[in-house]
Structure 1
Amino acid sequence: MPDPAALPDMVLAAACNAQEILANNLARSPMVQAGVPLHVEWNAPSAAIAYNRALDATTAPIIVFAHQDVYFPQGWDRLLAARLAALTAQDPDWALFGAFGVGLDGAHIGPVWSSSLGMIVGRVPMAPLPVQSFDEMVIILRRASGLRFDEGLPGWHMYGTDIVAQARAAGRAAYAGALPCIHNDRYHGALGPDYVACYQAMQRKWATALPLRTPITKISRSGLHLRRDLWQARKSAAFRQGMAVGADTNPEDFARRCGWMDLTASA
């Protein structure tokens, strides 16, 4: 069994387009300041292309793909080591792990802080749980799985669902567990045409595996769920904007409010 006290040989990878957001969040994380490598792909045409470039440019066996607006509190790397040790004991052939995912029963598994929602989201699992999709904020990939992101998937949505579907189609499993972190994301208004294009691409690619639940919607053959959720997003825009907390707040402040300033004792 892996030593839960040993830090994993890992690299952080991010697709970035804003130096200030990166500097104020992901690059500010204590483990990055302490020397965990951070590989950045700038202004890539899609998430899949950026992340595959990162895979090709790095060699660490564990790759933590994270958004530029994610902050990992003190001790997160040690907590990750403990979670991966438990996961490997449960499933030595695991492929993917995440901080927030949708379970096979549709439950949201976390917990993470979301600034755009102004709250902690996701239930706290006692052990790693299988998922059918991830929120893309944090995706941990085991290089030995051989998985890569599908560059045929356009834009910046649903690649967290696609990579899980790929793993499951290959007989591998994806899991989410308790990895508290800060997603210092800005308020999101209505879902745009790029989101619709990703939805339709997933409908075509996984037609025989539908329905699939993402953190935002349900991918179905009919697409009725997308139309409903587009309408609901427009209807609830003002309410959701009122819930959001300014992303200009220092992420340490959110970590302090959540009780996550130092996760070392949780490992």
Structure 2
Amino acid sequence: MPSPSPSPVDFVVVSPTNDDRTLERCLAASPEIRSGDVPLRVVREARSANNVIADALGRADRSFVVYAHQDVYFPAGFFARLSDALSTLSEQDPTWAVAGAIGRDAARRTHGTVWSTDRGMVVGERIERAAPVECLDECVLIMRAGDLSLVDLGLPGFHLYGVDLVQMGRLQGRQSYALPLDVVHHAKPITSLGGGYAQGHRYVRQKWRARLPLVTLIAPLERVPWKLWKMRVGVRIRARFSPARHAYGQHSDPRAIARELSYE
């Protein structure tokens, strides 16, 4: 499935939203979205991330769907940079499956960077060109409109779909990539890896059991999820006893962060 050569007018952004204030401060405040040059479709009361993605891919009237968290801010010029990165990627690999801002390969090496407000820093490893990965962070995912074969509607909730989409691509012999992009993820600290995360982890672990272990950006997928259990305890302890030791938080302005980082 060859890719067309993209331009900024070829993107539509979709986001599942449960906090309008965060949406307005972050994603909707992104300059090219605020101006209307790139349309934003907001989905409220979504059943799952993959349902949002499938619906967007099926109804998109532009060539590419950018799935983004409501707390992501795209600096000025982001979509021009994304266009250039996808043009280069499509020359390198015309059948790429999914692209994103940050991911990991099978050796657990991180490729790509994202500013993370909960960490108060840019996380990841800077790359100069598209890097093949085995999982992608779900804060930003780029797919071709109509590419529904990658989406498993049985995956519940809003976790682990970044690795699932990549692995669905692998079933078709297609590779996924992290791209060199500038993104502000105005994220809150993780306070739990139970609930929906544990449910999604179990589903993906069982689905891909023949391929385990698989890397993720948080807890790896293993036959016996020892690391997940250990990390769940660690997250609870840090949330209660180890507050952030940096000046950034939800009071911070993601646009100011982007300017501070010289992203715009």
1:124-143 equivalences in 2 (<5 Å): 124-143=126-145
Distance 2:233 2:138 in 1: 23
Instruction: Give the corresponding residue for 1:25.
Output: 26
Q: Is the 8 A contact 2:57 2:148 kept in 1?
A: no
Q: Is the 8 A contact 2:66 2:140 kept in 1?
A: yes
Q: From the superposition, tell whether residues 147 and 239 of structure 1 become closer, same or farther in structure 2 (CA, over 3 Å).
A: farther
Q: Is the 8 A contact 1:112 1:120 kept in 2?
A: yes
Distance 1:224 1:2 in 2: 43
Match status 1:114 vs 2:116? yes
| Partner secondary structure for residue 221 of structure 1 | coil
Structure 1 window deviating more from structure 2 (66-75 vs 33-42): it is 33-42
Which of 46, 49, 53 is the aligned partner of 1:47?
49
Distance 2:60 2:85 in 1: 23
Instruction: Give the corresponding residue for 1:249.
Output: 252
Distance 2:145 2:128 in 1: 25
Instruction: Give the corresponding residue for 2:10.
Output: 9
How far residue 136 of structure 1 moved from its aligned partner, in angstroms, is 0.6
Give the aligned residue type for 1:23.
Answer: E
| Partner secondary structure for residue 233 of structure 2 | helix
Distance 1:241 1:53 in 2: 37
1:88-99 equivalences in 2 (<5 Å): 88-99=90-101
Structure 1 gaps of 5+ residues are 262-267
Listed one character per residue, the Cα deviations across residues 65-88 of structure 1 (whole Å, up to 9, x for unaligned) are 000110000110110011011101
Q: From the superposition, tell whether residues 154 and 32 of structure 1 become closer, same or farther in structure 2 (CA, over 3 Å).
A: same
How far residue 105 of structure 1 moved from its aligned partner, in angstroms, is 2.2
1:142-181 equivalences in 2 (<5 Å): 142-143=144-145, 145-181=147-183
Distance 1:131 1:50 in 2: 23
Q: Is the 8 A contact 2:14 2:66 kept in 1?
A: yes
Distance 1:227 1:192 in 2: 9
The alignment's TM-score, normalised by the length of structure 1, stands at 0.91
Q: From the superposition, tell whether residues 244 and 160 of structure 1 become closer, same or farther in structure 2 (CA, over 3 Å).
A: farther
Give the aligned residue type for 1:252.
Answer: R
Instruction: Give the corresponding residue for 1:265.
Output: none
Listed one character per residue, the Cα deviations across residues 31-56 of structure 1 (whole Å, up to 9, x for unaligned) are 11232111111111211122222223
Q: Is the 8 A contact 1:101 1:176 kept in 2?
A: yes
Match status 1:211 vs 2:207? no
| Partner secondary structure for residue 108 of structure 2 | coil
Q: Is the 8 A contact 1:117 1:244 kept in 2?
A: no
Distance 1:137 1:91 in 2: 23
Distance 2:166 2:54 in 1: 15
| Partner secondary structure for residue 255 of structure 1 | helix
Q: From the superposition, tell whether residues 144 and 156 of structure 1 become closer, same or farther in structure 2 (CA, over 3 Å).
A: closer
| Partner secondary structure for residue 81 of structure 2 | helix
Distance 1:40 1:143 in 2: 17
How far residue 188 of structure 1 moved from its aligned partner, in angstroms, is 1.7
Distance 1:36 1:209 in 2: 38
Q: Percent identity?
A: 35
Distance 2:177 2:123 in 1: 17
Structure 1 window deviating more from structure 2 (96-105 vs 200-209): it is 96-105
Give the aligned residue type for 1:245.
Answer: Y
- Computed over aligned residues only, the root mean square deviation of the Cα atoms, in angstroms, reads 1.9
